[in-house]
A and B are shown apart, each in its own frame.
Chain A
Amino acid sequence: MSDNKLPSGHTRIDSLEMRGITKRFPGVLANNKVDFEVHAGEVHALLGENGAGKSTLMKILYGLYGQDEGDIILNGKKIKIDSPTDAINHGIGMIHQHFMLVETLTVAENVALGMPSSRGFLTDLDRVSERILELGKIYGLEIDPSAYIWQLSVGQQQRVEIIKALYRGAALLILDEPTAVLTPQEVKEFFVIMRQMVADGHALIFISHKLHEIMDICDRVTVLRDGELVGTKIIKEITKSELANWMVGREVSMTRELVDVELGPARLEVKGLCADSNRGTPAVRDFTLNVHSGEILGVAGISGNGQKELAEAITGLREVTGGSVLLEGEDITHCRPGEVTERMLSYIPEERMRDGMIKDFSIAENMILREHHKSPFAEKGFLMLKTIAKHSDQLIDRFRVKTPSRDTKAGTLSGGNIQKVVLAREISRQPRVLIAAQPTRGLDVGATEYVHAQLLEQRANGTAIMMISEDLDEVMALSDRIAVICEGELIGIVPRDEATPEKLGLMMAGVNPEEEAASAAR
């Protein structure tokens, strides 16, 4: 292996520099004279609050956006990147915050897409499949080339994205929040792959809001704030809390205070609930639990173990095949979603981009979605535009949604700000019961702190909160009790002070330590 070659056979990128990059969107200065530099053999973190301009800067590097000012310099030479094709030809790959896969195509087809074929105008999927397996072997990315994307878990889809980039000969890989959707176990595996790529001479740019990940995997970190460069530091020379404060520009608290709240009656009662997955297989099995007024019940579990189906069955979005759901004593098992909403149940879905908002609607419209047909937002069938405007301005302010105006299309917001719009809407209607799935996924540390504070305030006000999260730290920090779900079954419920990551981890794998202990004693 010669010195400037990677194991994939492609040429290394020794250094890449972005100088004085400026990018304007209507009403937003997304990047303002940003300098950024990365070299082979390092993981360089890009950190900043939601809407700081990280994705924009990276989309410029990948040729999806053109910069208004500034230069890109590769191995000392100024280059022009006008399209993703240019970027790919220069050895730059990108894994997007929202995956760029065609769900109805197979893995091999997705990898082959846009690449020249060895058989001319015919596709060469056999060759591509072989290469996928080969790359998979080098980097420990096991995947079936003939599987359809829609059949794969999020973690597997991510592998496809990485293979796609490697197949294209990426020497520099941009990873835009790759871990936001992964389980802790998947993150560990992902880091192994990243470490190997770096050791082989790749250059990696890593965006994440999880500071412990950045401390763990990165060599240097560059911080952006409001589109401007704050600075670049070596990770070894900074601590996690210094990093947080540096990024947000103020003190951020990492611990959460749970004040004592008097436990009220059970507001949400789930009794022997059963529901099927989209493919018709049982996803929730005989699930029973209660959520009381004034408590946060955390639901922990590895992604894809029925959490989504559970939430949807409760909220009326999915057909219930057995059991019942009571909301404040009333049976809502077979109610339509609208009727469930009327009874002041709020739901923050996991896939907010798809299930929680309408991309082409303005922020103001998105913020009244559940309540748009009734007072005070509508009177006698007319929308009360002034009230709506005032309401949305308040929420934008309270949740610090970074947007040029309330009339901006929600779809153009940064990833984290889209999340905030949905959170703001669901929390602000003062629900009796709140079901929140992955409430802080994709949020920066400051916003996470704020959302957690909001959840705790709701708890203090007596709302019954069911918080579904794959983030164990979050579950353990906020929950009064923690229910663990595995393969659609309730494994057990652990009170807050008895929960340890080890115990929860075991339960998430389907083992109930108490039952184990009991059977061992026998």
Chain B
Amino acid sequence: MSEIFSASVIISILTSGIRLATPYLYAAIGETFSQRSGVLNLGVEGQMLLGAFVSFYVVFKTENLWLGLLSAIIVGALMGLAMAFVTVNLQAEQGISGIGFYLFGLGMSDLLFKMLLGTVETVKGFSVVPIPILSKIPVIGEIFFNQNVLVYVAFLLVPIAWFVLNKTTLGLNIRSVGENPEAADSVGVSVVKIRYFTIILGGILSGVAGASMSIALLNVFQQNMTSGLGFIAVALVYFGAWRAWGVLAGALLFSMVQAIQLRIQIIDSISLSPDIAVMMPYILTIIVLVASVSRVRAPSALTKPFDRGE
């Protein structure tokens, strides 16, 4: 029992917790943008899977990590574009079309995997880049400043997202489109353009979220490797009350639970069925969502297509 509480174990749990927060952060920050503009994107998981596969495959073939990342960005952007067309122009029901996009990403990544790879391969992914000086700080340096680039960027995204949403004209436009699209439209803010922007941005970040798993955290691609993480990211946006910092708190909560869970699995002295351990993040999702209900009001126009009524 004592071994889980030793300092080195705790540090390693925290370190992997920070690392594991990466895909949650990318996906949930992207989702925050689209939800703040009034669009519920349930296709995150599908976008992540395709991003994960494509970036993995490109790295597998070219060994160029940046090219792999770029391909995930492009795939995510294209998925976002399709989603934007369906929900903004065709005004389809957002929940249902999101599930459609999820199934598409799931099936497509699976198909491509079988056609192009066939077996589970590994690549050399983004490696740890210690930050000079900071990484030398005891404990903290090891936990926060000994990570790979995608981890650093993920955490930087949080203040950036906060800044964009609250301090820029773009953010003001996004918030007003999500609250009252008629009002935004009546002063010349293009609801269509703003929603296209946020949905595509969400797609890109979901693609990167997938890539962060396949070419930075795990360095493999497997069928359905995200296993619901994209849906948890959507839930995190609710948990975080549509605020970047709230999303960060949620992402850390989940990644830490996951890190503990992974630890427990490899410790013999705790006889917890691995199935139960794996369930922990999902059970936590339900508990946390129930607890966070109605704390803050959702954007008023969330899931509502906009139409001038002409």
Q: Report the contact-size class of chain B (Cβ under 8 Å from the partner).
A: 20 to 34
Collect the chain A residues with CB atoms within 8 Å of residue B172's CB: 105, 109, 112-113, 123
Name the distance in Å between B281's Cβ and chain A's nearest Cβ: 32
B188, B309, B310: which contacts A114 (Cβ < 8 A)? B188
Interface on chain B toward A: helix, strand, loop, or mixed SS? helix
- A164 interfacial contact with B, CB 8 Å: yes
In the complex, the answer to whether B185 meets A66 with C-beta atoms within 8 Å is: no
- Complex Cα distance, B297 from A414, in Å, reads 30
In the complex, the answer to whether A102 meets B176 with C-beta atoms within 8 Å is: yes
In the complex, the answer to whether A121 meets B169 with C-beta atoms within 8 Å is: yes
Q: Beyond A109-B172, A113-B173, A123-B172, is A103–B179 a contact (Cβ under 8 Å)? A: yes
Cβ-closest chain A residue relative to B170: A121
**Stretch in contact with the other chain, from A81-89, A275-283, A462-470:** A81-89
Q: Report the contact-size class of chain A (Cβ under 8 Å from the partner).
A: 20 to 34
Collect the chain A residues with CB atoms within 8 Å of residue B117's CB: none
- Complex Cα distance, B185 from A102, in Å, reads 11
In the complex, the answer to whether B186 meets A96 with C-beta atoms within 8 Å is: yes
B180, B187, B297: which contacts A84 (Cβ < 8 A)? B187
In the complex, the answer to whether A113 meets B170 with C-beta atoms within 8 Å is: no
- Complex Cα distance, B182 from A103, in Å, reads 12
- Complex Cα distance, B309 from A99, in Å, reads 16
- Most B Cβ at <10 Å: residue of A94, A105, A112, A113: A113
- Complex Cα distance, B175 from A478, in Å, reads 46
Q: Beyond A121-B169, A121-B170, A412-B309, is A100–B188 a contact (Cβ under 8 Å)? A: no
A94, A99, A104, A113: which contacts B184 (Cβ < 8 A)? A113
- Complex Cα distance, B173 from A64, in Å, reads 18
- B308 interfacial contact with A, CB 8 Å: yes
Collect the chain B residues with CB atoms within 8 Å of residue A101's CB: 180, 183
Name the distance in Å between B261's Cβ and chain A's nearest Cβ: 38
- Complex Cα distance, B170 from A173, in Å, reads 27
- A65 interfacial contact with B, CB 8 Å: yes
- Complex Cα distance, B183 from A216, in Å, reads 31
Cβ-closest chain B residue relative to A105: B176
In the complex, the answer to whether B170 meets A84 with C-beta atoms within 8 Å is: no
Binary interface profile of A, 367-395, with partner B (CB < 8 Å = 1, else 0)? Answer: 00000000000000000000000000000
Name the distance in Å between B33's Cβ and chain A's nearest Cβ: 16
In the complex, the answer to whether B169 meets A103 with C-beta atoms within 8 Å is: no
B167, B170, B176, B188: which contacts A83 (Cβ < 8 A)? B188
Collect the chain B residues with CB atoms within 8 Å of residue A110's CB: 176, 183
- Complex Cα distance, B173 from A96, in Å, reads 20
Q: Beyond A100-B180, A103-B179, is A114–B187 a contact (Cβ under 8 Å)? A: yes
Residues of B at under 8 Å CB distance from A?
A: 167-173, 175-176, 179-180, 182-189, 297, 300, 308-310
The 6 closest A-B pairs by CB, nearest first: A85-B188, A114-B187, A100-B183, A100-B186, A114-B189, A102-B176
Q: Can you list 24 contacts pairing A with B, beta carbon distance less than 8 Å?
A: A62-B186, A64-B185, A65-B308, A84-B185, A84-B186, A84-B187, A84-B188, A88-B188, A96-B186, A100-B187, A101-B183, A102-B175, A102-B184, A103-B179, A104-B179, A109-B172, A113-B187, A113-B189, A114-B188, A117-B169, A121-B170, A122-B167, A123-B171, A123-B172
